Structure 1
């Protein structure tokens, strides 16, 4: 596919670096200032450098408030059977349709882990998209980690609250966990290694196991042992469950408000 990225900020650039590993697609980046691009990626600073109906996909990777001003300048470059793909947070398919008309539009909600090829991205395609377009874009997004197709934009908003915003929650939990380890006398480097590797190993154990998460937790919790003592604090009065429930619901509410 011949693909145009409008904008190449942190998220767009991270995804591009994963896609550029596959030389079956050709990429052009439109950005007023040339960013640091992978080898073989073309750069243009303005729409007049492009040809009409040149691209199979136009990826919208600019801030939502810029779309209404910028996208009209580039929409001519999409082939008649092409597809618009947006990774702009909080920008609905309908808001893009109002700019480009009744075209195939896909909304993607990635997360930061796309930078290392372990991202989770929700994908919603409007009715104008063909099954082949959905398949192609899904496979393309899969190159940045895991793509989760959903059947409504509300599901994208819900996914945003869990995985889109999730790295922020996890970073804060990591920060507190590392600080707790340092309070026990470990230097920061050692504390980070203890916490990061414990979490990585635990997640992989859960991923490979057929047991429920509750059963796995019980399997490492000896009666009157250290894990039980820690869990009694962590789970006291259901505070952890309530905190995480309130966290994702606050993010979902904000996602709906931003549309």
Structure 2
């Protein structure tokens, strides 16, 4: 457990709320050291001892570490003075420079969790801008490990690219699962069976990748020259990798363009 007071602006939203619940559940922060801003001043975590405030500046003033977990388009209306503070931004498309200029924070950490924070399975890349001490970096890593795995990256541009990769969370698996099910139904497979089969591939069978190298698995299946090899060959001939690349570049371009205040 840490002694720092952690404040979460937007701590009652789906992302901020999931992080707030996780740091309490994992014992990283005591309830008395967690401050959450909420316009109504009401939230279930208050029953566990978390402090709720209605004023964001009050939260900043009372916190050692401040997490901004609001939608990027709401940043323009967020007026705080964070002089001398370290801010952790969970906003896509808002650069560290823009955050520093608007808030006067001494250091900014940009991080990009995804929807899997809800089940403690997010991958969160994070980047430090400004003078962030080693102890603070360790705290950032531990904080995001409360909701999954995390890793520091050395270039801010990586955060923009990863916003379109890991930041999308279940979007790509959901797209694949929908495509598999739809194609099965077009082939005459009953809808309920098609859905079960597609879900098994995406949700259940893919768990093998937790203990197997993905490329080695592909190579082994292709070498077997069976049904799976035939399917993989068609996907490769259809420029599957290139299409994924274009999708990631399109998402990254939006992040790099920025949603400036």
TM interval, short-chain normalised: 0.7 to 0.9
Q: Determine the C-alpha separation between the residues in 1 that align with 2:22 and 2:181.
A: 30
Q: Which residue of 2 aligns with 1:113?
A: 116
Q: Determine the C-alpha separation between the residues in 1 that align with 2:60 and 2:122.
A: 33
Q: CA deviation at 1:150?
A: 0.6
Q: Which residue of 1 aligns with 2:129?
A: 126
Q: Determine the C-alpha separation between the residues in 2 that align with 1:123 and 1:240.
A: 28
Q: Which residue of 2 aligns with 1:21?
A: 25
Aligned partner of residue 25 in structure 2, secondary structure: coil
Q: CA deviation at 1:90?
A: 1.0
Contact 1:165 1:251 in 2 (8 A): no
Residue 46 of structure 1 pairs with residue 46 of structure 2: no
The two structures have a TM-score, normalised by structure 2, of 0.83
Q: Which residue of 1 aligns with 2:68?
A: 60
Q: Which residue of 2 aligns with 1:98?
A: 101
Q: CA deviation at 1:132?
A: 0.8
Q: Which residue of 2 aligns with 1:252?
A: 252
Q: Determine the C-alpha separation between the residues in 2 that align with 1:201 and 1:148.
A: 26
Q: Which segment drifts farther, 83-92 or 159-168?
A: 159-168
Contact 2:72 2:91 in 1 (8 A): yes
User: What CA RMSD, in Å, does the superposition of the two structures yield over aligned residues?
Assistant: 2.6
Deviations along 1:63-115, whole A, 9 cap, x unmatched? 2233243242x637xxx4x4211101111111111122251221111111111
Q: Determine the C-alpha separation between the residues in 2 that align with 1:181 and 1:228.
A: 18
Q: Determine the C-alpha separation between the residues in 2 that align with 1:224 and 1:253.
A: 39
Contact 1:102 1:128 in 2 (8 A): no
CA separation of 1:186/1:16 partners in 2, compared to 1, >3 Å: closer, same or farther?
farther
CA separation of 1:234/1:101 partners in 2, compared to 1, >3 Å: closer, same or farther?
same
Q: Determine the C-alpha separation between the residues in 1 that align with 2:42 and 2:232.
A: 47
Q: CA deviation at 1:52?
A: 7.6
CA separation of 1:36/1:177 partners in 2, compared to 1, >3 Å: closer, same or farther?
farther
Q: Determine the C-alpha separation between the residues in 2 that align with 1:69 and 1:191.
A: 46
Give unmatched runs, 5+ long, in structure 2.
Answer: none
Residue 216 of structure 1 pairs with residue 224 of structure 2: no
Q: Which residue of 2 aligns with 1:231?
A: 232
Q: Determine the C-alpha separation between the residues in 1 that align with 2:189 and 2:102.
A: 57
Q: Determine the C-alpha separation between the residues in 2 that align with 1:24 and 1:214.
A: 36
Q: Determine the C-alpha separation between the residues in 2 that align with 1:144 and 1:171.
A: 21
Q: Determine the C-alpha separation between the residues in 1 that align with 2:37 and 2:123.
A: 25
Q: Determine the C-alpha separation between the residues in 1 that align with 2:42 and 2:221.
A: 48
Q: Which residue of 1 aligns with 2:44?
A: 37
CA separation of 1:71/1:147 partners in 2, compared to 1, >3 Å: closer, same or farther?
farther
How many residues matched?
249
Residue 4 of structure 1 pairs with residue 7 of structure 2: yes
The two structures have a TM-score, normalised by structure 1, of 0.84
Residue 176 of structure 1 pairs with residue 176 of structure 2: no
2:161 corresponds, among 158, 163, 167, to 158
Give unmatched runs, 5+ long, in structure 1.
Answer: none
Aligned partner of residue 220 in structure 1, secondary structure: helix
